[in-house]
């Protein structure tokens, strides 16, 4: 176990090193002052890294705040969107995937999979633009712009506005929270279109694998109903393997979320990067590399480790691997 | 699983969402672009005026929105001297400046503030003259600059304007957006702290709303100015939420994320007018879309050619195709609401055959190609220069005249205009104050350069003397007569082909009432009311 942890952390360090070098190159290039011959690039890199570790990531040209603060606030908003979309699509996707998996190659399966395929094929930004038209075509009163209505003045505490608006409930009761939630609906619908399709496919695959196994056949012969089989035996065995596969989708989800945010002008990392680039503030790029890829790295490792801790099969694989 | 349940509940809870417009004490206005600064003395574009003039500041006098008479604002009354060379203004007492996080006034408004504010524009030695003035004051308010010898303080609540010569446009200038009154005390504080540039970005005025903050996402918050001298406003929070995309602006109006939106796209107007919960307001502006002929260059130095080209363009079709109902066709450079507008101006008829005949008679070279210059960037009022230019091109081709359209960026355009190497120029100009001189002088005066507006390179002694005469004339009837004569001349000479006056459009939900739009000084939220029902 310790050995495994060590190997994983080693991998993390190497990737982090490569990422930090990329961020360093971007920051060098954006400074427009490519060093002369006599300046030691290694020393510059060391300086850069000390600054990063001390939290001095430079000041934004656009709003005179620290890049780290801007980036973290923006990214937490993106993360919030991703999480809401993930949960929504899990609520929709997992049951659909289970149905498709149980009735594999039936009409229900084909219907669900066709819809899932459409969801996978639709470009997210296009779907977002279409959803913006909704209030014009139908009288749908969902907000389409921004994170939260400018009426609400939410103090910045955690950066996650859902939480912040709950904390500010003494000011606006639940109105601000509901408003933030309403602002999340349309962007997360777009995002969960893609995600739901992915979850349906994964669940279906995993369920149909389990359904073929002998213990399910045994349960069948025991005379259990389908519902009993699914809840007692199938779910427990089929769902855990989905989680690591979902992890692989993490970076896709975040990058799709960033385009969707731009369409809905939600103040997340997409809009932050776009305005920074438009404003010639390229240091934000290197901050974004550190924050976003750092998050993906860390979270994938945490998921890995958690899985080893939780799932016996994964642990077995680990030792067999050795 | 339990967490999922909570999450689902939260999602269902958001069904209780009520659109923002249900909050009565907050009003959201969605303009098209950001204010450049919060001081109309240095920023003259419509967005800046909307965000400042009526909301944050007061002027000495203002115009009644219906009768267009001058009515008191910070001055309670004024007297013109017998020799017509000086005006005395009596100021309002007990007027409070805004109290904000960054400034707390210790005294009421007085004559020092007036002199400080106006001299900032006029006096080059003024400590704030050079502050933030990337722009040249002269360019925008030269009628005012030429007008005044001095402004004297008689006592704390009386000031006297000394004029260079009798000139009746002083009141117009004082009612213009650039004559807003700033706080002298605040300026001294800023100067002492070494940050004078803040005066235009953290504004302090006497208007009905005070500035709270703005962010880089284009949202500006204003608060009700509790100690405002006039009628209290009924809206506590005024929010400007800049939304550049016009489809989105319209959608936000429908979802209630905006209460009022500026400049709906012309193509949306038809659909909007069908919706029962949306109202449209349209105001004529002094903005004019025109096609200038370079009178310095062959072949447009010939009056007949200019007339022939005007006849070849189908003005009515052009308006329908580009503006729908958001502009009115015109035959004059002046807004039809202007007191100087000559109602006997004849319309320009679309007669392509007649135009062709004239061109053939004169011996116009049909093998030559004329140039149509037009800016790449559309101005706030004119959504599509390129569409208009293409329609003109198609019209010209019908009578066999070949033309090239050149879309140029601002710097390229300026270079080209100064060089004089162009045949025609499609542009729009905007009157700054409600005086015909502010339209005519830039377009027609010999002293006006091509960048100031004289894109026809026009200079004639007759027109120049009429312009000068009209300005010094204090007899109103004679002044009108002069302008009528001037309009007749330019119509005969066909220096410009005036195409349309673009309307200023705003769309709003039916629960909003009482906002006013002044075509010269911007939108006014002082009397706006919001009711709950939609």
CB-CB contact of A60 with A144 (8 Å): no
| Nearest residue, CB atoms, A150 vs list B8, B239, B251 | B239
- The reported pLDDT for the residue numbered B98 is 92
Residue of B nearest to A141 (CA): B255
CB-CB contact of A79 with A271 (8 Å): no
Q: Could you tell me if B26 lies within 8 Å of chain A, comparing CB atoms? A: yes
Task: Convert the pLDDT of each residue in A103-147 to its tens digit.
Answer: 888 898 899 899 888 888 888 889 998 888 887 788 777 888 888
B9 vs A73, residue with greater confidence = A73
- The reported pLDDT for the residue numbered B216 is 79
Would you call B221 and A150 a contact, using CB atoms and an 8 Å cutoff?
Answer: yes
Q: Which residues of A touch B198 (CB under 8 A)?
A: none
Residue B295 DSSP symbol: T
Within 10 angstroms of residue B308's Cβ, the number of other Cβ atoms is 26
- The reported pLDDT for the residue numbered A322 is 46
Q: Which residues of B touch A91 (CB under 8 A)?
A: 4, 7-8
- The reported pLDDT for the residue numbered B10 is 65
The mean pLDDT value of chain A amounts to 83
- The reported pLDDT for the residue numbered B63 is 84
Test the A interface: residue of B1, B243, B248 with most A CBs within 10 Å: B248
Q: Which residues of B touch A142 (CB under 8 A)?
A: 17, 255
Chain A (262-281) residues lying within 8 Å, Cβ to Cβ, of chain B: 265, 267, 271, 275
The mean pLDDT value of chain B amounts to 83
Tell me whether residue A313 is exposed, middle or buried, using C-beta atoms within 10 angstroms of its C-beta: 0 to 12, 13 to 18, 19 or more.
exposed
Cα separation of B46 and B99, whole Å?
26
Cα separation of A153 and A164, whole Å?
10
Q: Mean pLDDT throughout A205-234? A: 86
Q: Is the dihedral of CA B316, B319, B321, B325 positive or negative?
A: negative
- Residue A60 in this model has a pLDDT that exceeds 60: yes
Cα separation of A193 and A198, whole Å?
9
Beta-sheet pairing, B86-91 with B158-163: antiparallel
Cα separation of A183 and A168, whole Å?
17
pLDDT band at A321 (very low <50, low <70, confident <90, very high): low
Residue of A nearest to B19 (CA): A141
| Nearest residue, CB atoms, B13 vs list A88, A144, A178 | A178
Q: Which residue, chain included where needed, has tokens 């200023």? A: B504
Q: What is the pTM of this model?
A: 0.81
Q: Could you tell me if B239 lies within 8 Å of chain A, comparing CB atoms? A: yes
Q: Which residues of A touch B4 (CB under 8 A)?
A: 87, 90-91
Cα separation of B24 and B512, whole Å?
10
Q: Which residue, chain included where needed, has tokens 């005949």? A: B357
CB-CB contact of B163 with B151 (8 Å): no
Tell me whether residue B394 is exposed, middle or buried, using C-beta atoms within 10 angstroms of its C-beta: 0 to 12, 13 to 18, 19 or more.
middle
CB-CB contact of B291 with B424 (8 Å): yes
A314 vs A236, residue with greater confidence = A236
- Residue A314 in this model has a pLDDT that exceeds 70: no
Distance (Å) from the C-alpha of residue A38 to the closest C-alpha of chain B?
40
Within 10 angstroms of residue B252's Cβ, the number of other Cβ atoms is 26
The ipTM value here is 0.80
Chain B (174-233) residues lying within 8 Å, Cβ to Cβ, of chain A: 215-217, 219, 221
- The reported pLDDT for the residue numbered B206 is 92
- Residue A41 in this model has a pLDDT that exceeds 80: no
Q: 3-state SS of chain A?
A: CHHHHHHHHHHHHHHHHHHHHHHHHHHHHHCCCCCCCCCCHHHHHHHHHHHHHCCCCCECCCCCCEHHHHHHHHHHHHHHHHHHHHHHHHHHHHHHHHHHHHCCCCHHHHHHHHHHHHHHHCCHHHHHHHHHHHHHHCCCCCCCCCCCCCCCCCCCCCCCHHHHHHHCHHHHCCHHHHHHHHHHHHHHHHHHHHHHHHHHHHHHHHHHHHHHCHHHHHHHHHCCCHHHHHHHHHHHHHCCCHHHHHHHCHHHHHHHHHHHHHHCCCCCHHHHHHHHHHCCCCHHHHHHHHHHHHHHHHHHHHHHHHHHHHCHHHHHHHHHHC
Q: Could you tell me if A226 lies within 8 Å of chain B, comparing CB atoms? A: no
The H or E element spanning position B283 is strand B278-293
The H or E element spanning position B519 is none
Chain B (247-306) residues lying within 8 Å, Cβ to Cβ, of chain A: 247-248, 250-252, 254-257, 271
| Nearest residue, CB atoms, A151 vs list B11, B23, B215 | B23
- The reported pLDDT for the residue numbered B209 is 92
Cα separation of A228 and A219, whole Å?
9
Would you call A185 and B219 a contact, using CB atoms and an 8 Å cutoff?
Answer: no
CB-CB contact of B88 with B235 (8 Å): no
Q: Which residues of chain B have pLDDT under 70?
A: 1-23, 133-143, 378-383, 432-434, 473-474, 533-534
């Amino acid at each position: 176990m310790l050995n495994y942890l060590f190997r994983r952390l080693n991998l993390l360090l190497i990737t982090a090193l490569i990422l930090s070098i990329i961020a360093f190159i971007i920051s060098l290039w954006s400074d427009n002052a490519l060093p002369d011959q006599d300046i030691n690039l290694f020393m510059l890199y060391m300086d850069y890294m000390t600054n990063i570790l001390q939290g001095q990531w430079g000041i934004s040209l656009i709003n005179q705040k620290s890049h780290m603060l801007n980036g973290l606030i923006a990214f937490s908003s993106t993360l919030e969107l991703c999480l809401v979309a993930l949960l929504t699509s899990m609520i929709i996707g997992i049951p659909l995937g289970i149905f498709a998996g149980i009735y594999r190659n039936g009409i229900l399966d084909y219907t669900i999979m066709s819809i899932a395929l459409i969801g996978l094929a639709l470009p997210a930004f296009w779907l977002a633009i279409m959803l913006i038209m909704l209030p014009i075509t139908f009288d749908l009163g969902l907000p389409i712009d921004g994170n939260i209505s400018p009426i609400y003045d939410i103090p910045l505490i955690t950066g996650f506005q859902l939480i912040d608006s709950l904390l500010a409930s003494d000011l606006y009761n639940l109105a601000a929270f509901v408003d933030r939630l309403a602002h999340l609906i349309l962007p997360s619908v777009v995002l969960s279109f893609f995600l739901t399709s992915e979850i349906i496919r994964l669940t279906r695959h995993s369920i149909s694998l389990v359904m073929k196994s002998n213990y399910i056949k045994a349960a069948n012969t025991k005379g259990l109903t389908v519902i009993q089989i699914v809840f007692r035996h199938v779910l427990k065995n089929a769902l855990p393997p989905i989680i690591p596969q979902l992890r692989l989708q993490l970076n896709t989800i975040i990058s799709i979320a960033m385009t969707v945010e731009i369409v809905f002008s939600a103040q997340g990392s997409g809009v932050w990067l776009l305005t920074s680039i438009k404003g010639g503030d390229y240091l934000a790029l290197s901050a974004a590399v550190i924050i976003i890829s750092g998050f993906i790295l860390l979270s994938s490792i945490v998921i890995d480790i958690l899985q080893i801790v939780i799932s016996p099969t994964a642990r077995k694989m680990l030792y067999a691997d050795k | 699983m339990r967490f999922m349940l909570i999450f689902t509940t939260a999602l269902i809870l958001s069904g209780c969402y009520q659109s923002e417009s249900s909050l009565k004490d907050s009003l959201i206005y969605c303009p098209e672009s950001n204010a450049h600064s919060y001081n109309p003395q240095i920023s003259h574009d419509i967005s800046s005026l909307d965000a400042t003039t009526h909301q944050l500041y007061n002027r000495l006098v203002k115009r009644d929105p219906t009768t267009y008479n001058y009515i008191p604002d910070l001055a309670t009354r004024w007297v013109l001297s017998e020799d017509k060379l000086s005006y005395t203004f009596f100021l309002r007492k007990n007027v409070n400046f805004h109290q904000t996080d960054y400034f707390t006034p210790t005294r009421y408004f007085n004559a020092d503030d007036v002199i400080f504010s106006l001299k900032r524009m006029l006096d080059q030695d003024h400590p704030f003259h050079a502050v933030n003035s990337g722009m040249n004051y002269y360019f925008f308010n030269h009628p005012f600059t030429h007008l005044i010898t001095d402004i004297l303080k008689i006592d704390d609540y009386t000031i006297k304007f000394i004029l260079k010569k009798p000139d009746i446009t002083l009141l117009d200038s004082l009612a213009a957006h650039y004559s807003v009154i700033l706080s002298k005390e605040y300026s001294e504080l800023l100067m002492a702290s070494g940050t004078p540039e803040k005066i235009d970005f953290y504004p302090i005025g006497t208007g009905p709303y005070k500035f709270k903050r703005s962010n880089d996402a284009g949202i500006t918050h204003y608060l009700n100015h509790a100690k405002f001298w006039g009628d209290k406003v009924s809206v506590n929070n005024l929010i400007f939420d800049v939304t550049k995309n016009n489809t989105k602006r319209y959608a936000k109006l429908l979802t209630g994320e905006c209460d009022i939106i500026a400049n709906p796209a012309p193509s949306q107007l038809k659909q909007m007018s069908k919706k029962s919960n949306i109202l449209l307001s349209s105001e004529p502006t002094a903005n004019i879309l025109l096609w200038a002929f370079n009178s310095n260059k062959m072949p447009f130095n010939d009056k007949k050619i200019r007339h022939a080209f005007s006849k070849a363009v189908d003005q009515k079709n052009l308006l329908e195709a580009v503006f729908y109902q958001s502009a009115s066709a015109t035959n004059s450079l002046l807004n039809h609401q202007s007191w100087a507008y000559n109602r006997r101006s004849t319309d320009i008829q679309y007669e392509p055959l007649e135009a062709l005949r004239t061109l053939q008679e004169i011996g116009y070279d049909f093998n030559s190609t004329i140039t149509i210059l037009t800016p790449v960037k559309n101005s706030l009022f004119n959504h599509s220069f390129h569409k208009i230019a293409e329609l003109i091109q198609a019209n010209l081709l019908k009578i066999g005249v070949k033309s090239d359209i050149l879309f140029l960026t601002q710097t390229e355009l300026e270079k080209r205009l100064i060089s004089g190497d162009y045949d025609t120029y499609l542009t729009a100009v905007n009157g700054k104050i409600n005086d015909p001189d502010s339209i005519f002088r830039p377009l027609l005066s010999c002293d006006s350069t091509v960048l100031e507006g004289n894109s026809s390179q026009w200079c004639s002694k007759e027109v120049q003397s009429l312009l000068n005469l009209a300005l010094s004339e204090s007899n109103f009837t004679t002044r009108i007569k002069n302008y009528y004569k001037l309009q007749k001349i330019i119509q005969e000479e066909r220096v410009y082909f005036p195409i349309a006056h673009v309307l200023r459009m705003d769309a709003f939900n039916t629960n909003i009432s009482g906002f006013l739009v002044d075509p010269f000084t911007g939108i006014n939220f002082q009397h706006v009311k919001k009711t709950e029902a939609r």
